[in-house]
Each structure stands twice: as C-alpha cells, then as structure tokens.
Amino acid sequence: MESPCCEEAALTSPEAKGPKVPPSHPPRTPPPQKKPVEPPRPQPATKSADEMPVRSQLRMVVRNRRTAAHPFRADEWAPAKAVRQVLGTVRGWGYPDLDEDDLERVVRVLVTAAVEDGGKRLSVHLGDQDHKVLVAVLSHTTGAPDQAVLGTVATLATVDSVGTDTGEDGRRMWAVLDAEPRRRPVRGTAAVRGEAPS
C-alpha cells in the first residue's frame, strides 16, 4: 500500500488531471448596454421649389439703423412708463417735425395690447432710418391677433404702416411713423398769377 502522502501527490500532479475538457457551463457574458443603440433618425423629405410653403405674413427685420430697447414688467403702469422712455429716446434722435401725440398714442395702444396678452414682461423696440421711426412691441407670450388694435393705430396721420405676427419670442406688433410728414397745402392762400394787387 502506498502512503497517503504519495497518493495525494499523484492526484495533484498535472499528469493525473487528464485531458482538458471544455467547461459544462457557458462563459460569462458581459452585462447589457445601459442605453440601447438609437435607431437612425428619419431624414426629412426634400421639397421642390413648387412645394415650399408661402408665408402669408411678412416678418419684421430691423437692420442698419439706430435702435433702442426698453423692457418692462407687463402691468397696468407699463403704458405710461413706455411712453415716457420712448419719447425721451426719440427726442434724443433729433426729429423736430415728428408728431409726438401720434407717437404717444401708438406706444400706449400697442403696449396696452401687449399687457392684455397676459405675459409677465414685454419690451418696446425702437429704430429709425430715412426719417421713419419704427415702434415694435413684443409681448413675449402668444396672444390672439387683434386687428382692432392695428386699425386704431393705422388711422393716425403720421403712421405709414402697421403689422403683427407671432414668433418664438411671442406676439410682435409694430408701427412705422413718418418723422417728417408731408405738409398739406392750405387752400386759398396761393396768389393767382397775373392779378395785380388792389
């Protein structure tokens, strides 16, 4: 009989193990990805020039002119504050023939409409070019277009054009005033040619 220590040595030697047999369980797999792979995003279909949508309204663009911006909280005092600041700014631009009553009315009507849109803030933007003054009011919230507001502003004598649209910054309303309105001739003051004074 062999001693137990020799038997143990015979079992632990490499020759005693025999041929290598593959394990009976599958190898360990890596854990799944934390975020699934995103499928490819669909590409937008290209449209021909015939299929491009046509905007029904013009967009306001202000370039190459003096500008000023006045932000306000949309509250009951905003129209009076806006009138005061706008008149100060436009007076600084030096337009002695500008009808300040029309400018005040435009600012008051547009700012009141912006306050009624229900946002928390609004801003009044001014610009001038070629003796025209642009007054644009942004409500910074989407409001229903009110054509009565534009109609009120359009009836003023020195207002050349008005408009409104809605963009990512909310509803925009604007008016362009003529800073040098054309004088209407007064009837009956022109002398008739060929008559001698009596």
Whether 102 is covered by a domain: the verdict is yes
**Phi, psi torsion values for 30, nearest 5 degrees:** -70, 155
Q: List the beta bridge partners of residue 67.
A: 127
Entry pTM: 0.61
What's the pLDDT tens digit per position in 21-75?
776 777 777 776 677 667 777 777 665 555 545 445 556 666 677 899 999 999 9
CATH number for position 95: 3.30.565.10
Whether 61 is covered by a domain: the verdict is no
| 156: containing domain | 68-178
Burial of 195 (0-12, 13-18, 19+ CB in 10 A): exposed
Number of domains in the chain: 1
What's the pLDDT tens digit per position in 101-132?
999 999 999 999 999 988 899 999 999 988 89
Q: Which residue has the higher pLDDT, 171 or 11?
A: 171
